Structure 1
Amino acid sequence: MRYLEITVPEGKRRAVLNILEDEGIDYVASDETSGREYTAVVRFPVPTQAVEPLLDRLKRTGVGDEARVVVIDAETVISEGFATLQEQYSYGGQTGARTSRQVLRTKADELTPPFPIYAAMLLISAIVATAGLLADSPAVVIGAMVIAPLLGPALAANIGIVTGDARLKSTGFRYQLVGVGLVVAASIGLAVLARLAGLEPAGVDIVVATELEERVSPNLFSLAVALGAGIAGILSLTRGFSEAIVGVMIAAALIPPSAAVGITVAWGMSGAATGAAALVVVNLLSVNLAALATLWIAGYRPQGLFDVSPTRRPTYTYAAIFGIGLLVLAVPLASVTLLDFHTTELESTTEAEVEDVLTDPRYEEFEIEDIVIELDGNYPVQSVDRVIVTVSSQNAGTEPGLADHLYREISPQTDDPIVVEVQYIVAEERGPTEQGDTANGQETDAQDGPLRVSKARA
């Protein structure tokens, strides 16, 4: 429920009161005596659903921007007339209240802080996210998401598009682009300092950290967070749900990938940086496309019949830009997704092939301990590089020909040139050390004992 107070300009009092009486609204009107070209102040409660159509109708009668309208949340209204009005605007018995277009603009403005505060909060979020990714700490990364004020700009841009508010649209897009740039720049600076300070060994494959790895080689499932965040963000504004939780979702889609870009740039890993940057752009497009589509489907339009057509065209234009960009960038994400499926399938197939090979009497003393599929590290779209099979037995030493045998069985399962590596563990021993032999059966002793390795190559 809402309580409206309208300061009526001179010459519009009768028109305003006629509309309210026609709608069956109980109102209180008092004369305006300040001498500021206003003739009356009208106050009345209305259902939330009635605010937007009522204000649109008032504007069509000439009560436009010169009138002052205040919309206040109302806790309770006790009136038989109001109950009838509420039933009238329940839209088929649904009592859920859609926020009016006018209030929606105000909420978007409130969720978009002044730029100095916005920049400061994003810089803090970037520092925390970078530290969390370098430390491979999910808890710290989540903390960075909580403090990032990204909900307002993400939604303001699309509210501005569908309602024809150019100021709101430009502010929203500007804040989004500048915000992501600030996070990337801050992450580069902090990561460079961390590397120079020796917090991570120079030249280390930094993306082995789980929190980083999933952001530099994203798959199609990464889209789910961003699309869900955009839809939930609009629903939180239009239906009065908690915006704080939705803000964390949007930050989850943008802050960690942006920080990952900065870290991989600082480490000179161009392929990984490209993958993380692609995820940032994909998530930006996804959030905006989902928000724009949800607003349009929810029926938000500029007021007046003649405003719909001009606004429909830019809405479709922006939707096409977001959609085409998303489809183009989804191609490498689809490749990563297919690789994930292939890796899982190859691991399962390899396990079956190894079990079958070990049924041979020559290898009956061996048991499977582990199977690992290693990728080549060429981000963002990798390929299978190595299959590592770990077997155990009671006796030390390698089994000549086992690596070659496994290679012949496993290599047809993938189109990539691979290395099949067999590692041997002595069951009764502790503290693994390494020895090795190559696929041609030539053995070379390593420094220590029980773990031995044999390999077969393409």
Structure 2
Amino acid sequence: MLHLRLISPAERTDEVVRLIEGTVGTTHLAVIAGAAREPAGDLVMCDVAREAGDTLITSLRHLGLDDTGSISVDSIDLTLSRRADKAERDAPGEAADAVLWEELTEATHEESTLSVTYVAFITLATMIAACGVVLDNAVLIVGAMAVGPEFGPLAGICTAVVRRRPRLALRSVNALLVGFAAAMAVTVCFTLFMDVTGLFHRSALVGPRPNTGFVYAPDAFSFIVALLAGVAGTLSLTSAKSGALVGVAISVTTVPAAANAAVALAYGDTPQTVGSTEQLLLNLSGIVLAGTLTLSAQKVLWKRQQQRP
């Protein structure tokens, strides 16, 4: 269930209430006249089944409530109410299949914003992965994958394409390109520093690396895994099962490939630099393609499901 807290101008409250009452899957409607001060208006609250949430939110935006008042949405972890149970039964479709497009757009907007924190995380992840490729340590590689925040901008690109939001697309691409460029530049300097201190050595990069050699050797499976991870990651976002994102992060080699490219560049190893860059681009393109197709399929399937009697 979702809880909606609305601030409505007094002259629009009756229309808002009629809209809520006419939406299948809503319950627990409450109106407190004149309760809101900024902006001035009435406070309207209700609960709605997740599968009916996107329809109601879209309708409220069509009324201009996001401009003249406000729309706040919270997820309810537990509701003990027969009316709530009935609302969920009456709502079309299944809650697990429902996509809250406004929530997804807002989430990907935040995750794809180029910020100091975002750059810090992707840089630290790339530096950890650099230690992993030099030491041929799979544990460090997995850790770096989990730390990397690059799935946010990738999801932002997918959402922007499906929802036709060019600003979100530009923001996401900018965060992705600038983030990786900054991370790789810092990792090159980090590699040179570690080499001077004797902790890194070129021989470790060119020698046998059974645990991490895959990061600069792209093949068909690299793209296939990226496609599968893109589907899983997108489903985890739209179904609010964020725990699956950790598994997605450690199944693709974006950050390790960027790290290996940076280390190889520092040592002047052109073949590994090129191979790692190809691996990075292959993974990024696979995730974006799969994510976009998944969102498009969800949009079509959910629309069909809601049209069923």
TM-score (norm 2): 0.86
Query: 2:33 maps to what in 1?
Result: 31
Query: 1:190 maps to what in 2?
Result: 190
Query: 2:290 maps to what in 1?
Result: 290
Q: How far apart are 1:154 and its partner, in Å?
A: 1.7
Change (3 A) 1:219 1:13: same
CA distance in 1 between partners of 2:85 and 2:21 (Å): 16
The answer to whether the 8 A contact 1:16-1:58 is kept is yes
- The 5 Å alignment of 1:408-419 reads none
- 227-236 or 196-205, larger mean C-alpha shift: 196-205
Change (3 A) 1:35 1:245: closer
The answer to whether the 8 A contact 1:5-1:69 is kept is yes
The answer to whether the 8 A contact 1:227-1:290 is kept is yes
Greater relative contact order (CA < 8 Å, ≥ 6 in sequence)? 2
Query: 2:121 maps to what in 1?
Result: 121
CA distance in 2 between partners of 1:240 and 1:23 (Å): 23
Q: How far apart are 1:174 and its partner, in Å?
A: 1.2
Q: Tell me the secondary structure at the aligned position of residue 136 of structure 2.
A: coil
Of Structure 1 and Structure 2, the greater helix share is in: 2
Q: Match of 1:41, as an amino acid?
A: L
Query: 1:89 maps to what in 2?
Result: 91
1:249 to 2:250 alignment: yes
- Cα deviation digits, residues 168-197 of structure 1 (max 9, x gap): 322221111112212322232233334444
Query: 1:421 maps to what in 2?
Result: none
CA distance in 2 between partners of 1:133 and 1:208 (Å): 11
Q: Count the aligned residue pairs.
A: 298
Query: 2:307 maps to what in 1?
Result: none
**Gap regions ≥5 residues in structure 2:** 301-309
Q: Match of 2:127, as an amino acid?
A: I
- Cα deviation digits, residues 2-47 of structure 1 (max 9, x gap): 1111111242112111112222533111112555564311111111
Change (3 A) 1:220 1:29: same
The answer to whether the 8 A contact 1:229-1:249 is kept is no
Q: Match of 1:245, as an amino acid?
A: V
Query: 2:222 maps to what in 1?
Result: 222
Q: Match of 1:76, as an amino acid?
A: L
Query: 2:78 maps to what in 1?
Result: 76
Q: How far apart are 1:259 and its partner, in Å?
A: 0.9
The answer to whether the 8 A contact 2:215-2:253 is kept is no
1:133 to 2:133 alignment: yes
- Cα deviation digits, residues 41-60 of structure 1 (max 9, x gap): 11111111111001122233
Query: 1:142 maps to what in 2?
Result: 142
CA distance in 2 between partners of 1:51 and 1:103 (Å): 10
Change (3 A) 1:29 1:204: closer
Q: Tell me the secondary structure at the aligned position of residue 67 of structure 2.
A: coil
1:66 to 2:97 alignment: no
Q: Tell me the secondary structure at the aligned position of residue 158 of structure 1.
A: helix
The answer to whether the 8 A contact 1:223-1:283 is kept is yes
Q: How far apart are 1:247 and its partner, in Å?
A: 5.3
Q: Match of 1:178, as an amino acid?
A: V
Change (3 A) 1:21 1:174: same
Q: Tell me the secondary structure at the aligned position of residue 68 of structure 2.
A: coil
The answer to whether the 8 A contact 2:133-2:205 is kept is no
Q: Tell me the secondary structure at the aligned position of residue 73 of structure 2.
A: strand
- The 5 Å alignment of 1:234-245 reads 234-241=234-241, 242-245=243-246
Larger radius of gyration: 1
CA distance in 2 between partners of 1:260 and 1:35 (Å): 56
Query: 2:18 maps to what in 1?
Result: 18
Q: What fraction of aligned residue pairs are identical, expressed as a percent?
A: 21
CA distance in 2 between partners of 1:204 and 1:112 (Å): 35
Change (3 A) 1:60 1:109: closer
Q: How far apart are 1:204 and its partner, in Å?
A: 7.3
CA distance in 2 between partners of 1:116 and 1:281 (Å): 24
Change (3 A) 1:112 1:37: closer
- 168-177 or 111-120, larger mean C-alpha shift: 111-120
1:206 to 2:206 alignment: yes
The answer to whether the 8 A contact 2:128-2:140 is kept is yes
CA distance in 2 between partners of 1:266 and 1:37 (Å): 56
CA distance in 2 between partners of 1:130 and 1:293 (Å): 32
Change (3 A) 1:70 1:202: closer
- The 5 Å alignment of 1:303-322 reads none
Q: Match of 2:162, as an amino acid?
A: V
TM-score (norm 1): 0.59
